[in-house]
Amino acid sequence: MTESALLRLRGVVKKFSAFTALHGVDLDIHEGEFFTIVGPSGSGKSTLIRLLVGMDEVTSGEIHLRDQRIDQTPANLRPTCMVFQSLALFPHMSVGQNIEFPLKLRKEPAEKRRDRALELLDLLRLPRDYYHKRISQCSGGERQRVALARALAFDPEILFFDEPLSALDYRLRKTLEKELKDLHHRTGKTFVYITHSLEEAMVMSDRIAIMNGGRFEQIAVADDIYGKPVSRFVAEFMGEVNLFEVTSEDGKTLSAPGLTVNTTQDGLPANGKGLLMIRPEYVQFASATDRFDYLVEGQVQEEYALGSRIQYEIKGPQEDLITIEKLRENRLENAVGQHVRLGFNADHIHLIGEA
């Protein structure tokens, strides 16, 4: 991945009558990266991608592809392509005809179209004899691959994806996540992906952008989004999390009701307040003699089996719920109803400052 900004947004605003869907969005997407935009329904992610491919017009602001402004360029003249959730394949055409369709629009010779279609079948790891197969005879995963092949036939500079895997069953979705990541590496294309699935974003992306209320809350690599969120919203959106409201008189010694603190911690200003974040996998059941930087007591309320993991919900001292996760082999016997002591250490926490 190069560090050049292939796609640049500056101050992009989108309004629908009195409603503002995007509030002055700035964004740089680098050439060759897999960039994923994640957010809840209504956050603005689908509106943003429609502006990027030219399906809607910006209210104000600019979109640049390389050094060319494209926000006023019609969709059919942009060197981009969209893979929709519905795939939008032509059911009356064969696989080969679907893949060749953009080449036919460009009036490419039939022989050249066929050669390119066969190359793309190879690239998407579909048998060449699928060239004559009807779309109606293809499975869901095969249709996804055909849609990708057709998008690549455009030879776009950027491929946009609007939740293309959301309608598939879990096993197929996990398979295609890996295939998409592999395809990205093999083609070197720039992928911009929209999803509501945190797992998809974490598995595939070079960088992730979290949207909320028409703005980006955080843009970073997956590990930083998960481990070092900049706000309560991002922390809670990126999976199970425990948050303790803390204060600090000297900027180093934290305090919170019911939390025993055995260490100092930088991260808050003097007389400041914030959130202490700890992910469930880093919280341990502690004995009376175990020493941890942070300790809290509670009562186990629920136990949930999550395949290879077990999740526990524990009522804390402030009637809040603390979540922890253990591997199945570390299961706590007869857990529900037990009074437990929980511990975690400073190298696994993250402090989120609050204004």
CA distance 88 to 109: 24
Burial class (CB in 10 A: 0-12, 13-18, 19+), 86: exposed
Cβ atoms 354, 274 nearer than 8 A? yes
pTM of the complete model: 0.88
pLDDT at 113: 94
pLDDT at 2: 42
| Helix (H) or strand (E) segment spanning residue 50 | helix 45-53
Amino acid residing at 297: E
Give the residue carrying structure tokens 């460009």.
106
DSSP line for 270-334 = TTEEEEEEE-GGG-EE--TT---SEEEEEEEEEEEEETTEEEEEEE-TTS-EEEEEEEGGGPPTT
- Residue-averaged pLDDT of the chain: 92
Which residues on neighbouring strands pair with residue 297, listed in sequence order? 341
Q: Which of 154, 160, 187 is nearest to 63 (CA)?
A: 160
pLDDT at 3: 54
Q: How far is CA 128 from CA 3, 95, 101, in A?
A: 37, 10, 17
pLDDT at 86: 75
What DSSP designation does 130 have? G
Cβ atoms 44, 13 nearer than 8 A? no
Question: How far is C-alpha 9 from the geometric centre of its chain's CA atoms?
Answer: 20
Q: Compute the residue count for the chain.
A: 355
What DSSP designation does 338 have? -
pLDDT at 69: 95
pLDDT at 1: 41
CATH topology of domain 242-353: OB fold (Dihydrolipoamide Acetyltransferase, E2P) (2.40.50)
Cβ atoms 115, 100 nearer than 8 A? no
pLDDT at 238: 87
Question: How far is C-alpha 313 from the geometric centre of its chain's CA atoms?
Answer: 26
Burial class (CB in 10 A: 0-12, 13-18, 19+), 329: exposed
Give the residue carrying structure tokens 């979109």.
63
Q: What is the largest CA-CA distance in the chain?
A: 78
Q: Which of 175, 173, 204 is nearest to 191 (CA)?
A: 204
DSSP line for 57-111 = --SEEEEEETTEE-TTS-GGGSSEEEE-TT----TTSBHHHHHHHHHHHTT--HH
Per-residue pLDDT of the chain in tens (355 residues, 90 and over written 9): 445 789 999 999 999 999 999 999 999 999 999 999 999 989 999 999 999 999 999 999 999 999 899 999 999 889 998 888 777 888 889 999 999 999 998 899 999 999 999 999 999 989 999 999 999 899 888 988 899 999 999 889 999 998 888 877 888 888 889 989 999 999 999 999 999 888 889 999 999 999 999 999 999 999 999 999 999 999 999 889 999 999 999 988 999 999 999 999 888 888 899 999 999 999 999 998 999 999 999 999 999 999 899 999 999 988 889 999 999 998 999 999 999 999 999 999 999 987 4
Tokens coding 343: 């511990």
Q: Which of 29, 81, 31, 36 is nearest to 55 (CA)?
A: 81
Q: Which CATH architecture has domain 5-227?
A: 3-Layer(aba) Sandwich (3.40)
> Do the domains spanning 5-227 and 242-353 agree at the CATH topology level?
no
The crossing angle, in degrees rounded to 10, of helices 170-187 and 110-123 is 120
Domain limits, the chain: 5-227, 242-353
